[in-house]
């Protein structure tokens, strides 16, 4: 198991500490679902009858991250666990946070407030599963079903509609007709949700094994009508990548190819994406433009594309239907004569020296770029004498 992810063994030890102190406690949520399915776990959340103050009295390293709602972060055996007091919730004026939270002593009452049956299970320190809403049965049937009334669950937090489709994609499950109908009826409530939260779910949805079904659900249930950019472009709603995509840099590079009139900058702005995503998407788009121009992986492409984006670029090409091998970038990059401008045998100072009568200006940077391109594409050997001989043939302007 990844050392940075919570340890199930440590989680059971944490439960034992709470039990020994007189408090009931369980692992809850997605971790239980993943344990039952035999899937790799993400975060491990704990629910307990102990109040936040009581939890802080049991453990020495506790951060009160959401103490008003009963949640603290416990640092235990080199792992971090969110520990939340059993609670019920009422009223969701902001369509996200409950207006009122009441602490309770029943794990079953706590589970009744959760979104889907497959996420409404709990596990005690002995590994026994508490399953009041038949989540295990729904896991075996491979369905996404709401806890209680789906319309009520989605009205509490409309993001749950995106989560339903995301789980269908990730787990390759079917969504029940009741859940589908509730999404179709209430998709407009997504207007109340911060686009950043929607982006997280959509990103996971398109990276799931069942992404084609996920995209189909977004289309047929009306979800796309309330997502930035998609809402105004029907062609995007029915565009299905030929390969699942990871991250918004890949996503917006792919979707820009479907509608070139929509700039990457608009995607970044409307979805409120980070500058990092913007930089990566611009790099991927530039590489894609070069690839389409030559219909192959070129030396210049391999030189310009940051190495950490190589796998992403191959993924985008496959999503667009290009028959490219995953080793294509590596095969070309091994042929590069240089890997950065610092490796050029002829630098800006040498160019200035070659034309001492010219004032400094933009001709220097454009000249170096020409040399860089010629060397990378092997039109010119990366040797000072060869480059100097080539430069001497230039006839630059007398001034800028």
Residue (of 280, 223, 231) closest to 254 by Cα position: 280
Q: Is 30 annotated as a binding residue?
A: yes
Cα separation, 206 vs 288, whole angstroms: 20
Residue 103's DSSP bridge partners are: 87
List Cα–Cα distances, 142 to 152, 172, 175, 244, 294, in angstroms.
22, 8, 9, 21, 45
Report the run of H or E that residue 87 belongs to, with start and end.
Answer: strand 87-90
**Spatial CB neighbours of 333, under 8 Å, sequence gap ≥ 6:** 302, 303, 307, 310
Separation CA 218–CA 228 (nearest Å) = 13
Q: Any idea what DSSP says for residue 21?
A: T
For 107-126, b/e burial (b = at least 16 CB within 10 A) is: beebbbbbbbbbbbbbbbbe
157 annotated ligand-binding residue: yes
131 is known to lie in a ligand binding site: no
DSSP codes joined into one string, 161-199: HHHHHHHHHHHTPEEPHHHHHHHHHHGGGGGGS-HHHHH
114 is in an annotated binding site: yes
User: Which stretch of DSSP H or E encloses residue 72?
Assistant: strand 71-76
Q: How far apart are the first and last CA of the chain?
A: 61
Bridge partners of 238, per DSSP, are none
Q: Give the pair of three-digit tokens for residue 365.
A: 């940077």
| 43 among annotated binding-site residues | yes
Residue numbering of the annotated binding site for CTP: 30, 33, 114, 157, 160, 163, 166
Q: Which residues belong to the annotated binding site? A: 30, 33, 43, 45, 114, 157, 160, 163, 166
Binding residues for Mg(2+): 43, 45
Binding residue positions for ATP = 30, 33, 114, 157, 160, 163, 166
């Amino acid at each position: 198991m990844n050392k940075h992810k919570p340890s199930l063994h440590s989680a059971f030890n944490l439960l034992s500490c709470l039990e020994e102190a007189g408090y009931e406690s369980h692992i809850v949520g997605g971790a239980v679902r993943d344990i039952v399915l035999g899937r790799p776990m993400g975060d491990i959340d704990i629910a307990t009858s102990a109040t936040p103050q009581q939890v802080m009295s049991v453990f020495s390293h506790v951060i009160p991250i959401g103490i008003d709602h009963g949640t603290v972060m416990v640092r235990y055996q080199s792992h971090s666990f969110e520990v939340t007091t059993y609670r019920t919730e009422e009223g969701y004026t902001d369509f996200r946070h409950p207006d009122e939270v009441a602490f309770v002593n029943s794990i079953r009452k706590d589970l009744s407030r959760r979104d889907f049956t497959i996420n409404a299970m709990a596990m005690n320190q002995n590994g026994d599963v508490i399953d009041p809403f038949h989540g295990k049965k729904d896991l075996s049937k491979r369905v996404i079903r709401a806890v209680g009334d789906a319309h009520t669950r989605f009205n509490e937090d409309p993001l749950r509609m995106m989560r339903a489709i995301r789980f269908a994609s990730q787990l390759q499950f079917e969504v029940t007709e009741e859940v589908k109908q509730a999404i179709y009826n209430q998709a407009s409530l997504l207007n109340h949700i911060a686009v950043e939260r929607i982006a997280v779910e959509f990103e996971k949805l398109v990276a799931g094994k069942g992404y084609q079904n996920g995209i189909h659900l977004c289309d047929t249930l009306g979800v796309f009508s309330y997502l930035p950019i998609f809402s105004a472009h029907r062609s995007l709603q029915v565009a299905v990548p030929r390969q699942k995509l990871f991250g918004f840099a890949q996503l917006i590079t792919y979707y820009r190819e479907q509608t070139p009139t929509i700039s990457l900058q608009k995607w970044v702005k409307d979805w409120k994406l980070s500058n990092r995503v913007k930089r990566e998407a611009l790099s991927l788009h530039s590489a894609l433009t070069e690839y389409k121009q030559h219909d192959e992986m070129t030396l210049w492409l391999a030189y310009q594309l940051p190495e950490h984006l190589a796998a992403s670029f191959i993924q985008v090409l496959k999503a667009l239907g290009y028959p490219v091998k995953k080793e294509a970038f590596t095969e070309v990059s091994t042929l590069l004569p240089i890997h950065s401008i610092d490796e050029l045998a002829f630098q800006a100072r040498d160019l200035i020296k070659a034309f001492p009568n010219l004032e400094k200006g933009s001709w220097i940077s454009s000249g170096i770029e020409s040399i860089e391109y010629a060397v990378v594409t092997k039109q010119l050997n990366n040797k000072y004498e060869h480059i100097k001989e080539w430069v001497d043939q230039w006839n630059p302007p007398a001034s800028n």
